[in-house]
Amino acid sequence: MTPSTDRNLALFERARQAIPGGVNSPVRAFRAVGGTPRFVQRAEGAYFWDANGRRHIDYIGSWGPMILGHGHPAVVEAVQQAVLEGFSYGAPTECEIELAEEILALVPSMDMVRLVSSGTEAAMSAIRLARGATGRSKLIKFEGCYHGHADALLVKAGSGLATFGNPTSAGVPPEVAQHTLVLEYNNIAQLEEAFALHGAQVACLMIEPIAGNMNFVRASVPFMQRCRELCTEHGALLVFDEVMTGFRVALGGAQSVYAAALPGFRPDLTVMGKVIGGGMPLAAFGGPRAIMEQLAPLGPVYQAGTLSGNPVATACGLATLREIRKPGFFEALSASTRSLVDGLTTAAREAGVAFCADCEGGMFGFFLLEALPQNYPAVMKSDAARFNTLFHGLLDRGVYIAPALYEAGFVSAAHSQADLAETVEAAREAFRLLRFS
């Protein structure tokens, strides 16, 4: 394809004139991997077609929401019906209750839920609620976990545990970052030390239970158990950010995975997004009644939204949840994801490429490393140049994975055995490129 006939390139050049970096969310710009972002023309099932009419097998699925694949008929029908009735009212609708009830029925740690429009907004609101409910200001997060781009969360570790964090973005006042303590994921000794020093001031500990924003790293069961115990002991709230894992790794989210290992385990608050909107702007946060009733209009913690509980978005989310709760859905999705991961692992081994991978439900991650990393510094030992060779090797063969090595991948119910086999075959060829790189 020459530059003059490459429509992706032409669109990217045009986009860069009107939109900073040509994109409305930075990772889409391919800065980490180089090359031209694919502009999507349309999508169906497991595929999308780019502006050059090229088909790709899609393992991003809008970064997780498209668990049924693109354009699932039942979801399209629900959205079309909702649109005919009206777009937005700024007044309550029955569909919001139905979606709330559906979520609560599937996630036992939540008695009540509030709907918002993005994961960022949900995480930010959950932190305000935790602060309001506890009367404390400090929060704990972990390096490599992403909770959206609210000021208090764009923070990296300061020097040592006695000091709080520093901003990772220009525009975040240092005073705001100083309420956030950033710890190493899966480091029990450091967690204990942090609570010993600051426990009485901590409003909440926020965690991605299976961290999908540093590719795919599980919190170990003993680490999660200590998070739970220390929060309870010190009166801090344990907040699960399940924006990515909720309704993605299991019907009950990652918390159901930990509850299987730790009987009775539950977080205090849960933040959700991505799958619950089925591809529409919708997210949520929820928890026990006594905490949720601290929210306005009942309680003193203010929170609101013009488009919150939007009728088209709630119809889309509800139709999606009704599909994924059908018997056998997660068993089949997990088996597909597992077979992809096994196929990739075998292909890498045959090519003599260091490779390891993990998955849960419809979410997976892989590393060009000998062993699965347990925290962010270990993830960052991955060789970016080798990842980029693999990424472009796959892209050239019509397989679209995240354009950065610190992002998870997603399989949908629309990915057939043939799609997975085609992906493994493409990977087999791409791994050969790596042997000589």
Ligand X SMILES: *Cc1c(COP(=O)(O)O)cnc(C)c1O
Q: Of the two residues 271 and 394, which places its CB atom closer to ligand X in the complex? A: 271
Tracing tokens 């500990």 back to the chain, one arrives at: 205
Shorter beta-carbon distance to ligand X: residue 82 or 408: 408
Binding residue for ligand X, selected from 36, 109, 118, 314, defined by CB under 6 A: 118
Count of helix runs (H) and strand runs (E) in the chain: 14, 18
Residues 224-253 within binding reach of ligand X (CB under 6 A): 241, 243-244
Active site residue 241: yes
Our measurement of the distance from residue 85's CA atom to the centroid of its chain's CA atoms, rounded to an integer in Å, reads 31
Cβ proximity to ligand X, 317 vs 393, nearer residue: 317
**CA distance linking residue 395 with residue 408, whole number of Å:** 16
> Is-contact 391 403, C-beta < 8 A?
yes
Please report how close the Cβ of residue 15 comes to ligand X at its closest, in angstroms: 20
Tokens of 140: 């704990």
Which of 33, 110, 123, 202 is close enough to bind ligand X by CB under 6 A?
Answer: 123
Is the link from the previous residue into 297 a cis peptide, with omega within 30 of 0?
A: yes
Point out which span in 206-214, 222-230, 246-254, 365-373 binds ligand X (CB under 6 A): 206-214
* 146 is an active site residue: yes
Choose between 213 and 412: whose C-beta lies nearer to ligand X: 213
Helix H or strand E segment including 206: strand 202-207
61 binds ligand X (CB under 6 A): no
Closer CB to ligand X, 50 or 208, in the complex? 208
The stretch near ligand X (CB under 6 A) out of 143-151, 162-170, 388-396, 429-437 is 143-151
In angstroms, the CA 403 to CA 30 distance is: 6
> Nearest 5°: CA angle at 277, between 331 and 208?
70
400 part of the active site: no
Considering the rule CB under 6 A, would residue 258 count as an interface residue with ligand X?
no
Which of 30, 59, 29 shows the shortest CA–CA distance to 47? Answer: 59
Of positions 48, 59, 146, 400, contacts ligand X by CB under 6 A: 146
Closest-CA residue to 107 (of 266, 231, 315, 298): 266
Helix (H, G, I), strand (E, B) or coil at 156: strand
Which is nearest to 62 in space by CA: 72, 52, 73, 77? Answer: 72
| The binder of ligand X chosen from 69, 119, 246, 309 (CB under 6 A) | 119
Comparison of 155 and 244: residue with beta carbon closer to ligand X: 244
Q: Catalytic one among 50, 58, 241, 419? A: 241
Query: How many Å apart are CA 135 and CA 128, to the nearest integer?
Result: 10
Q: CA-based Rg of the chain, rounded to a whole angstrom?
A: 22
Q: What are phi and psi of 212, to 5 degrees?
A: -100, 0
Q: How many residues bind ligand X, per CB under 6 A?
A: 15
Binding residue for ligand X, selected from 58, 208, 268, 407, defined by CB under 6 A: 208
Question: At 141, phi and psi to the nearest 5?
Answer: -135, 175
d(C-alpha 355, C-alpha 257), whole Å? 25
Nearest in space to 278 (alpha carbons), one of 323, 220, 229, 233:
323
**Tokens at residue 121, please?**
């907004």
Of 50, 58, 138, 274, the catalytic one is 274
Please report whether residue 279 would count as binding ligand X according to CB under 6 A. Answer: no
- Judged by beta carbon, residue 58 or residue 419, the one nearer ligand X is 58
Please pick, from the candidates 273, 286, 365, 393, the single residue that binds ligand X as defined by CB under 6 A: 273
Which of the following is catalytic: 47, 59, 146, 258?
Answer: 146
The only residue of 109, 125, 178, 213 in contact with ligand X, by rule CB under 6 A:
213
Query: Nearest approach, Cβ of 121 to ligand X (angstroms)?
Result: 7
Q: Examine residue 388 and tell whether it contacts ligand X (CB under 6 A).
A: no
| 120 interacts with ligand X by CB under 6 A | yes
Annotated catalytic residues are 146, 241, 274
Contacting positions for ligand X (CB under 6 A): 118-120, 123, 146-148, 208, 212-213, 241, 243-244, 273, 283
